[in-house]
């Protein structure tokens, strides 16, 4: 009996994503057979290829010295990129924004925090623009960082970090609308309120056009998408690396005001977002109305072994649900 349970445990521990299916929470290997290391990520579709950018977590997790809360971290390893044409098989493209290991004062030195990178293409400048959360070891710096590249696979050149219009910026996402305008959405004001800020035409700077949403509601991990002309934001509460209940909200304009629709998750552990946290919603190219919700399942004591939970979004009128599936495929 004991031998059987050891074999079953070993099998579960080594379960990987089978060809042509998504297996949320299992180890997901790239086409070289290595676990995908792209956390807090986002995906850009460009010229027939999907590019998945994420935090490249170092292999040693430790607690940030002198910080009271559960500030687990790894050295900032930069931003990784994987490419795919089918969303199941991902090719390693390397670390496309490399950490600066030379200058100890650099925003992207390994002692810093580089989180939630997202990339969009700017048609006017022909550049790929990355926005990300840049912080120091205790998350007190609270800034947004920007980098740029001529190619989706880099290398990206880091430009700078800033507090947009003087406001704190932690969990961040980037959204490019159909009209070519791009926005950053970030947790601000002590993570209490979300700011939605229009970027300049080159996407490299914030403008002074800012909308405050979810005022005093402490939402983070924003993931934004558009469906049938409406804008949706999925977000989490603020509990560090520990899971909490997701929320979704809808608006007629990207800048809000947003109407909260409650927790979209259904099934086992839906009240804990399946032990995950939102990072991105991916519209599937060539399948109008098909969206994949991407969550991170953080492993705070071994952050590089944090897993990915991808699930389909099911619409019913203006509302949608995200239901747990052990394995699933795109139809
Ligand atoms: C929650 C955020 O969503 C993550 O990106 C990360 O910053 C952790 N907090 C750090 O505790």
Pairwise CA distance, residues 112 & 110, whole Å: 5
Alpha carbon of 101 to ligand 1 centroid (Å): 23
Sign of the torsion angle spanned by Cα atoms 275, 277, 279, 280:
positive
Q: Contact at 8 Å (CB) between 55 and 40?
A: yes
Q: Is 115 in the pocket of ligand 1 (CB under 6 A)?
A: yes
Pairwise CA distance, residues 170 & 259, whole Å: 23
User: Which of 174, 291, 160, 307 has its CA nearest to residue 228?
Assistant: 291
Residue where the block lists tokens 């997202």: 118
Residue 15's pLDDT is 57
Supply 30's token pair.
């790239």
In this model, does residue 263 exceed pLDDT 50?
yes
Q: Is 279 in the pocket of ligand 1 (CB under 6 A)?
A: no
Q: What would the pLDDT profile of 200-212 be if each residue is shown by its tens digit?
A: 999 999 999 999 9
Alpha carbon of 72 to ligand 1 centroid (Å): 10
Predicted structure pTM score? 0.94
Q: What percent of the chain clears pLDDT 70, i.e. is strictly above it? A: 95
Residue where the block lists tokens 């994987």: 82
In this model, does residue 14 exceed pLDDT 50?
no
Alpha carbon of 170 to ligand 1 centroid (Å): 9
- pLDDT-derived band at 8 (thresholds 50, 70, 90) equals very low
User: Which of 319, 213, 207 has its CA nearest to residue 256?
Assistant: 213
Supply 186's token pair.
């970030």
Closest residue by Cα to atom 3, ligand 1, is 221
DSSP notation for 47-89: TTEEEEEEEEE-S--EEPTT-SS--EE--EEEEEEEEESSSSS
In this model, does residue 136 exceed pLDDT 80?
yes
Q: Which atom of ligand 1 is nearest to the CA of 220?
A: 3
Q: How many CA atoms lie within 13 A of 303 on its CB side?
A: 26
Residue where the block lists tokens 């309120």: 193
Residue 5's pLDDT is 44
Pairwise CA distance, residues 240 & 247, whole Å: 16
Q: Which atom of ligand 1 is nearest to the CA of 277?
A: 3
Supply 298's token pair.
């953080």
CB atoms within 10 A of CB 91: 15
3-state class (DSSP) for residue 186: strand
Alpha carbon of 62 to ligand 1 centroid (Å): 15
Sign of the torsion angle spanned by Cα atoms 221, 198, 77, 50:
positive
Pairwise CA distance, residues 231 & 224, whole Å: 7
Q: Contact at 8 Å (CB) between 247 and 260?
A: yes
- pLDDT-derived band at 255 (thresholds 50, 70, 90) equals very high
Supply 91's token pair.
């090719």
User: Which of 97, 99, 85 has its CA nearest to residue 41?
Assistant: 97
């Amino acid at each position: 009996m004991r031998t059987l349970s050891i074999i079953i445990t070993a099998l579960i521990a080594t379960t990987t994503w089978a060809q042509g299916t998504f297996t949320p929470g299992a180890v997901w290997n790239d086409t070289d057979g290595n676990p995908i290391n792209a956390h807090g990520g986002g995906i850009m579709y460009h010229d027939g290829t999907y590019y998945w950018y994420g935090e490249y977590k170092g292999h040693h997790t430790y607690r940030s010295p002198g910080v009271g809360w559960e500030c687990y971290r790894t050295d900032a390893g930069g931003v990784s990129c994987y490419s795919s044409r089918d969303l199941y098989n991902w090719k390693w493209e390397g670390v496309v924004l490399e950490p600066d290991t030379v200058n100890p004062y650099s925003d992207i030195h390994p002692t810093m925090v580089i989180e939630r990178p997202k990339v969009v293409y700017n048609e006017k400048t022909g550049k790929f623009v990355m926005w990300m959360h840049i912080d120091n070891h205790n998350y007190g710096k609270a800034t947004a960082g920007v980098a740029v590249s001529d190619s989706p696979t880099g290398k990206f050149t880091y430009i700078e970090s800033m507090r947009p219009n003087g406001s704190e910026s932690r969990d961040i996402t980037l959204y490019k609308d159909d009209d070519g305008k791009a926005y950053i959405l970030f947790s601000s004001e002590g993570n209490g309120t979300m700011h939605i800020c229009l970027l300049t035409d080159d996407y490299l700077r914030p403008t002074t056009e800012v909308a405050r949403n979810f005022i005093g509601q402490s939402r983070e991990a924003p993931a934004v998408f558009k469906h049938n002309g409406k804008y949706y934001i999925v977000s989490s509460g603020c509990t560090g690396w520990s899971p909490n209940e997701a929320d979704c909200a809808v608006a007629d304009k990207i800048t809000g005001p947003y109407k909260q629709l409650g927790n979209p998750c259904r099934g086992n552990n839906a009240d804990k977002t399946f032990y995950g946290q939102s990072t991105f919603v991916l519209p599937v190219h060539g399948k109008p109305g098909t969206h994949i919700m991407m969550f991170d399942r953080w492993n705070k004591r071994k952050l590089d072994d944090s897993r990915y939970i991808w699930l389909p979004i099911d619409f019913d009128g203006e509302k949608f649900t995200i239901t747990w599936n052990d394995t699933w495929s795109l139809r």
